[in-house]
Amino acid sequence: MLRSLPLRTRVFLALAFVALVPVTLFGAIAVAQVGGGVRTEQEASVLAIARLGAQQIGSGGGFDSSTAQRLALATSKTVTILTNGGVLLGASDPAHAAALPAGFDPTAPPPVVQANGAITAYAPILGPAGQPVAVLAVSQPTAAGPEIAPLLATALVLTILLAVALSFVLARSLVRPLTEIADTLERLQAGDLTARLPVEGDDELAHLAASHNRLAAALAARNRSLQLVLEAIARLSPKDGVESTVSTAESAATDAFGFLGTRVTLGAAAADEPLEERVPGEAYAVSVPLQIGDDRVGRLTAMLTPTRDWGPADTDLLAIFGSQLAVAIRNAELYADVQSLSELKSDFLRGVSHNLQTPLTSIRAFAERLNAEENDPHLAIIVEQSQRLSRLVDQLLTVSKLEAGTLRPNVDVLALGPLVGRVWQSLGREGQPFDLRDEAPGWLVAADRDWVEQVLWALLDNAVKYGGGGAVEVGIGLGMAEDPHVVSGPCIVTTVRDHGQGVPAEDRERVFERFTRLERGNGDGHASGSGTGLGLSVARGLVRGMGGDLWLADVDPGATFAFSLPAERIEEA
Amino acid sequence: MATVPPLARILLVDDDPNLLVILADQLHDDGFDVTTARDGEEALRRLEEGWPDLLIVDLMMPRMDGLALARRVKERADLPIIVLSAIDSGDSKAQVLETVAEDYITKPFHYPELRARVNRVLRRVGDNVPAGALRLGPTLTLDLRRRRALVDGQAVTLTPVESRLLYALAASVGYVVTTETLLARGWAETEAPDPSYVWVTMRRLRQKLEVDADRPVYLETVRGAGYRLNRLAGDGPASDGALPPGSDPPAPSTG
């Protein structure tokens, strides 16, 4: 009930009740004071009458009731005449005749006694010789004065109680909303932006609550804007290109800030464009430059509804978005540059490859055809060497693609044994001893056939070149789990061993470096100087690209290279 | 090879006259009716005169390159195309190629390999496989032309071999395709193909395509015969009722 009163009224009431307490107190004291005065006055007047009456009677009056009645009539008081001993001689009203107070002494100054609701003054009646012969008692009912005091006291107590109670209630009604405000602000500070104050009535507290709620709502709205802005920024990917980045950012800004529309203009000149003046009642524009440090990328301009407020905090938020957007746009531009350069490089390599491989294809096709007709060993050499040359071109391209990380294997299953045999045949070393042991016949490897072929060709070619004409041994077996080169899961390890001089200890890692050609003794001089120094490096890159590894396994006697590839068990499924 | 029609017509387009001559010779020797063109413009003129069964085109040619020609041709008819190129499967352009051409061969090629691919592509033309996406059930849609599948909404890339097997299976959805057929389709130009290739590849395909590879619903094994690709009941236009997965799906038209 009190809460519905305006704050002003409540404060006024509280103060008023507190003020009532001293007022009532003063009133009580004043009344008490006045009451005492009245009594003294009454006592004096009764005493004076008693003295006067005693003189009158002493100077010639009868000590009987008629005298008393006469005197009572003249003074309108109750008059009683008593002997010094207290014996009643006459009374104006026998029903209310006064008695002598205990221990009455006629020679002492006449006393005034309050008793039985009356004030009675006693005066000695003096005889002719001046000796007291009788006593005159004059009585008057006590004035109403003294009865006011308890009433006042009650009023005082009640007022104090009421004042305390009211003050308490009012204080509570004043403090409670303040406590609520404090609690809500604390929740707000703790990050609960949904905390709102109840708005009751139309007083200052209600205004405070309403403006707090507006503040919280604005904070929540900005928070949401910020969240949307961050989400939008997170969505921006340089791979999408500048145009997509810009259009994503425009719609994101429109959503996040509640714009009518957003436009991003690119270019350093756009960053300096002045803004149109705001015309009241019309949609107006806000804008931030998009820049990274001093590097101007462009400008973001947005339209707002005429009624929309745009504060410094909004400007700051938009500026943050602007700077992030600038970075995203610049990244997209750089990415596009890199992409076009990379595409240029790919085009160049495609051109080189095409221009080398096309004539090789012709050479090979004609030589194969002639060889089929005439069976001239020289033609076989042309075929073999044209194949070798095109493999080297492939290797060069593979190196560049491995560097760019654009190679993706087409992983299918295949049996290694037949492939090893075919690659060995393609090397055209019919006279050289070759031994292939497949100790994992129940398994297939999961790998890219073309890649494996390249790897095998590089390893076998290497074994031929540096094997001193000795036997080349290829072993296919299941990988041992304790081998550090073996990848997780089942895998097949293929070893290629030659019987050459092996690899010197200091060169064991160098053999995999690009363009490395070691001073290793080679067999019959046939392949001398024919290597590119790329074979092992490319082979290792390809094997690793398929989830395996390639390493130098043993160097005595001869060199043994090994590579692992993920394996699949043969089961009819 | 029995499915190859006699005297299949091939239009061969390459700017290298030497290659053109020898390749045309070799293809002719193998029983194909070969026409040649030196560039894209000439190829389009040849097409006006009559449509071949297959187009073999070099990727890199002056004026109109192989990709542009392939696109122009595909706009007019679904003519199977094999592209000759000096790039391999790791190249970005190869991905684009795959969406336009049926197959591509890297230069320098071994002639028998080219012949095997020509035969395979010609055989595939007879297959009754929709050109677009093939929806088999709520969790599987095949998009073989782009060599990918949508599994539970996630795009899964298929290898060339896998898509060849799926082509063969999708050509007769609901019917058994023998292991031998699949082996011939998937590994035509491979030395010493073995049925184990089919078994293991099917297992790997199940891991890629099935929700639970141990309880396959799409790629079903028919013991002693081969494999069957199922279209799930209640899914797709050919369905006419709620059949439990694995039971014989409604027979599609065998045109």
Nearest to A414 by CA among A365, A447, A385, A381: A447
Minimum Cα–Cα distance from A395: chain B residue: B88
B180 touches chain A (CB under 8 A): no
Nearest to A545 by CA among A346, A411, A420, A415: A411
Question: Which residues of chain B neighbour A446 with C-beta distances below 8 Å?
Answer: 204
> A350, B200: Cβ pair inside 8 Å?
no
pTM metric for this prediction: 0.55
Q: Mind listing the pLDDT tens digit for each residue in B167-206? A: 888 888 888 999 988 888 888 777 778 888 999 999 999 9
Percentage of residues in chain B with pLDDT exceeding 90?
Answer: 7
Question: Which residues of chain B neighbour A357 with C-beta distances below 8 Å?
Answer: 86, 107-108
- Find the length of chain A: 573
B30 touches chain A (CB under 8 A): no
Minimum Cα–Cα distance from B95: chain A residue: A408
Question: Which residues of chain A neighbour B159 with C-beta distances below 8 Å?
Answer: 410-412
**Looking at residue B249, what is its pLDDT?**
42
The shortest C-alpha distance from A230 to chain B (Å) reads 27
Question: Which residues of chain B neighbour A387 with C-beta distances below 8 Å?
Answer: 108
Q: Please, are residues B181 and B241 in contact by the beta-carbon 8 Å criterion? A: no
**Looking at residue B244, what is its pLDDT?**
41
The shortest C-alpha distance from B194 to chain A (Å) reads 9
- Residues 117 to 156 of B: which have CB under 8 A from any A CB? none
B191 touches chain A (CB under 8 A): yes
For A4, which DSSP code?
Answer: G
C-alpha distances (whole Å) from B186 to each of A413, A535, A570, B55, B194 are 11, 30, 17, 21, 11
Q: Mind listing the pLDDT tens digit for each residue in B47-102? A: 888 888 899 988 888 888 888 888 888 888 778 888 888 766 556 666 667 777 88
Count other Cβ atoms within 10 Å, centred on residue A306: 11
**Looking at residue B131, what is its pLDDT?**
64
Global ipTM: 0.70
> A358, B16: Cβ pair inside 8 Å?
yes
Nearest to A110 by CA among A120, A98, A122, A101: A122
> B16, A364: Cβ pair inside 8 Å?
no
> B86, A407: Cβ pair inside 8 Å?
no
> B199, A360: Cβ pair inside 8 Å?
no
Minimum Cα–Cα distance from A354: chain B residue: B86
- Residues 224 to 253 of B: which have CB under 8 A from any A CB? none
**Looking at residue A531, what is its pLDDT?**
58
Chain A with chain B: Cβ pairs closer than 8 A = 121
The shortest C-alpha distance from A417 to chain B (Å) reads 10
CA–CA gap between residue A265 and residue A250 (Å, rounded): 11
Q: Is the alpha carbon torsion for A62, A68, A70, A75 positive or negative?
A: positive
A521: three-class secondary structure by DSSP? coil
CA–CA gap between residue A505 and residue A512 (Å, rounded): 14
Q: pLDDT band at residue B241, thresholds of 50, 70 and 90? A: very low
Helix A242-257 vs helix A312-374: crossing angle, to nearest 10: 150
Q: Which of A366, A450, A570 sits opposite B88 (nearest CB)?
A: A450
> A390, B108: Cβ pair inside 8 Å?
yes
Residue ranges of chain A with per-residue pLDDT less than 70: 1-4, 35, 143-149, 271, 273, 481-487, 515-532, 555
Q: Which of A365, A387, A419 sits opposite B19 (nearest CB)?
A: A365
- The radius of gyration computed from the CA coordinates of chain B, to the nearest angstrom, equals 19
Q: Which of A358, A446, A572 sits opposite B86 (nearest CB)?
A: A358
Q: Please, are residues A259 and A304 in contact by the beta-carbon 8 Å criterion? A: yes
CA–CA gap between residue B107 and residue B96 (Å, rounded): 18
**Looking at residue A459, what is its pLDDT?**
92
Long-range Cβ contact pairs of A29-35 (< 8 A, separation 24 or more): A31/A148, A31/A149, A31/A152, A32/A149, A32/A152, A34/A145, A35/A145, A35/A146, A35/A148, A35/A149
Minimum Cα–Cα distance from A362: chain B residue: B19
pLDDT tops 50 at residue B254 = no
Nearest to B200 by CA among B189, B191, B188, B213: B213
The shortest C-alpha distance from B117 to chain A (Å) reads 16
**Looking at residue A149, what is its pLDDT?**
67
> B16, A421: Cβ pair inside 8 Å?
no
**Looking at residue B88, what is its pLDDT?**
64
CA dihedral angle for residue A461, residue A466, residue A471, residue A475, rounded to 10 degrees: -60
* Lookup result for tokens 């969240």: A227
B87 touches chain A (CB under 8 A): yes
> A362, B190: Cβ pair inside 8 Å?
no
C-alpha distances (whole Å) from A432 to each of A462, A560, B228 are 14, 17, 47
CA–CA gap between residue A221 and residue A239 (Å, rounded): 31
